[in-house]
């Protein structure tokens, strides 16, 4: 008999697995469990990881894990965006990317031999570097190509270096490191993480392993959800799911007044998935998710997280903007802003729309945790300011 579940069961399973109920033991485990924290904006990713990690570490602690301890790594990944990964997962991500459509980056492309020469050159540097540092490594052909077809106001040599850094990064040969003034710095993997094993895997094997891991945290899900999360073609995602056939069970997500929705879950997760979610809000507290949080990218189907389609642009805005959002019992109920002052952090909460309730301040992430994360020595502060949204 096919298992039937309610959405709250699925949402509570995902919240437990992703560290939103009981925090995960450390930052590396958290990054691994999430399959990468979306880190196009690094400051947001630091809070996204800290929110789900025991002790809710300060932003500077997350930065040390990236730059000093190197237990986590910031690199290009799914959907051609930057994520913070467990280093072992970077192997899978970089390998599987051969199967994912590349972004529609305009302008000239670097040829394979040019990329190989660039990788060999940066591996000899044995230090971090910025784009300005490696412009002289760009081959004349690529520089001339950008001179003929400029895509912004940067000099052609800088654009050529940018293209080479991105190309080497998506192949897993370099990662992001510190910020130097207004420039991002990078490092060759073999120098930055010399002890990291990089086993030979086929892209298909890596993608299948990632699909299994995705379902273990973000299941139950559809094939379309898998494709959405990795930025892959649905037809390709079907082959990864098919390879897991003996490990999967179809569950029917049944909500009152809606057609049951067939979704896939790992068979080993069924007992955990079928558990009844707690009734009390304090057993399933609301969370302040940062902008671009991984939680907002996990599923193509947004019908459950924001049932009113007219309100979804308030979470997923124009030009790929993803706003900081309040998550409560598996649904997005509001957005939030913050302003750091010398002795406190001001929070402004706004319900997502008419009929939405942003829980009281005591139900949200402890203000002191967020202030400590932001490096603020908190003084007694006013409660978050709830902004009322006018009726639509």
pLDDT in tens, 308-321: 999 999 999 998 89
More confident residue, 391 or 76: 76
Q: What phi-psi label fits residue 18: left (phi over 0), alpha (psi between -120 and 50 degrees) or beta?
A: alpha
pLDDT over 80 at 379, yes or no: no
Give phi and psi for 104, each to the nearest 5: -85, 60
Task: Measure the CA dihedral 127/133/136/142, to 10°.
Answer: 100
Tens digit of pLDDT for each residue in 185-195?
Answer: 999 999 999 99
Higher pLDDT pick, 392 / 188? 188
Distance CA 320, CA 73 (A): 23
**Distances in whole angstroms, Cα of residue 113 to Cα of each of 94, 110, 138, 306:** 19, 8, 12, 47
d(CA 173, CA 73): 12
Mean pLDDT over residues 55-81, rounded?
Answer: 96
∠312-315-318 over CA atoms, to 5°?
A: 85
pLDDT of residue 315: 96
CA torsion through residues 215, 219, 221, 225, sign: negative
pLDDT band at residue 381 under the 50/70/90 scheme: very low
Per-residue pLDDT at 383 exceeds 60:
no
* pLDDT tens track for 177-221: 999 999 999 999 999 999 999 999 999 999 999 999 999 999 999
Q: Quick check: 1 pLDDT over 70?
A: no
Distance (Å, rounded) from C-alpha 254 to C-alpha 261?
7
Two structure tokens written together for 225: 């959800």
Domains present along the chain, CATH in parentheses = 3-13+200-274 (1.10.10.10), 106-192 (1.10.10.10), 281-386 (no CATH)
Q: How much is the pLDDT for 362? A: 45
Rg (CA), the chain: 22
Phi then psi for 178, rounded to 5 degrees? -85, 170
List the structure tokens of 387: 């902004």
Residues 225-250: what's their mean pLDDT? 97
- Strand ordering across the sheet containing 82-85: 37-38, 82-85, 73-76, 174-180, 183-188
CA distance 350 to 346: 13
> In angstroms, what CA-CA distances link 273 with 23, 211, 219, 281, 332?
19, 18, 9, 19, 21
The strands making up 287-289's β-sheet, listed across from edge to edge, are 287-289, 325-328, 331-340, 345-351, 385-386
Q: What pLDDT shows up at residue 391? A: 44
Is residue 16 packed enough to be buried (19+ CB in 10 Å), middle (13-18) or exposed (0-12)?
Answer: middle
Whose tokens are 């086993």? That residue is 199
Distance CA(340)–CA(342), nearest Å, equals 7
Beta bridge partners of 188: 174
3 — pLDDT class (breaks 50, 70, 90): confident
Q: Which of 162, 178, 57 is nearest to 109 (CA)?
A: 162
pLDDT, one tens digit per residue, over 277-308 is: 998 877 888 899 999 999 999 999 999 999 99
Starting at the earlier edge strand, list the strands of the sheet with 248-253. 3-5, 248-253, 261-266
Determine the pLDDT at residue 392: 40
When mean pLDDT is compared across 61-65, 131-135, 148-152, the lowest value belongs to: 148-152
| Average pLDDT value for residue range 40-67 | 96
The pLDDT value given to residue 16: 96
Q: Would you say residue 67 has pLDDT above 60?
A: yes
Share of the chain above pLDDT 70, in %: 94
**Nearest-angstrom CA–CA distance, 197 and 179:** 26
């Amino acid at each position: 008999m096919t298992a039937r579940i309610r959405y709250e069961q699925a949402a509570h399973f995902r919240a437990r697995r992703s560290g939103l109920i009981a925090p995960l033991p450390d930052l590396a485990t958290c990054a691994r469990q999430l399959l990468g924290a979306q880190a196009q904006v690094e400051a947001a990713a630091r809070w996204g990881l800290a929110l789900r990690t025991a002790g809710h570490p300060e932003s500077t602690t997350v930065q040390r894990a990236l730059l000093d301890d190197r237990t986590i790594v910031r690199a290009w990944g799914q959907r051609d965006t930057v994520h913070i990964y467990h280093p072992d997962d970077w192997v899978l991500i970089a390998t599987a990317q051969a199967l994912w459509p590349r972004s529609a980056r305009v302008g000239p492309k670097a040829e394979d031999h040019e990329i190989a020469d660039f990788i060999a050159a940066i591996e000899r540097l044995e230090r971090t570097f910025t784009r300005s540092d490696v412009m002289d490594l760009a081959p004349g052909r690529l520089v001339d190509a950008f001179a003929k077809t400029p895509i912004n106001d940067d000099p052609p040599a800088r654009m050529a270096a940018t293209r080479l850094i991105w190309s080497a990064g998506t192949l897993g040969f370099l990662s992001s490191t510190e910020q130097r003034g207004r420039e991002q710095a990078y490092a060759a993997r073999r120098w930055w993480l010399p002890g990291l094993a990089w086993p030979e895997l086929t892209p298909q094997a890596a993608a299948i392993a990632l699909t299994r891991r995705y379902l273990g945290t973000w299941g139950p899900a559809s094939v379309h959800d898998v494709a959405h999360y990795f930025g892959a073609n649905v037809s390709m995602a079907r082959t990864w799911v098919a390879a897991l056939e003996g490990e999967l069970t179809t569950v029917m997500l049944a909500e009152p007044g809606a057609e049951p929705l067939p979704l896939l879950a790992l068979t080993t997760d069924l007992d955990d998935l079928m558990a009844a979610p707690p009734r009390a809000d304090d057993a399933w507290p609301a969370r302040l998710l940062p902008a671009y949080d991984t939680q907002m990218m996990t599923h193509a189907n947004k019908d459950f997280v924001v049932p009113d389609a007219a309100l979804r642009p308030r979470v997923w805005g124009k030009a790929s903007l993803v706003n900081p959002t309040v998550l409560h019992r598996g649904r997005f109920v509001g957005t939030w802003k913050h302003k750091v002052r010398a002795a406190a952090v001001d929070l402004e909460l706004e319900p997502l729309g008419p009929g939405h309730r942003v829980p009281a301040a005591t139900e949200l992430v402890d203000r002191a945790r967020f202030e400590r994360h932001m490096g603020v020595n908190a003084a007694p502060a006013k409660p978050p300011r709830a902004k009322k949204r006018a009726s639509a």
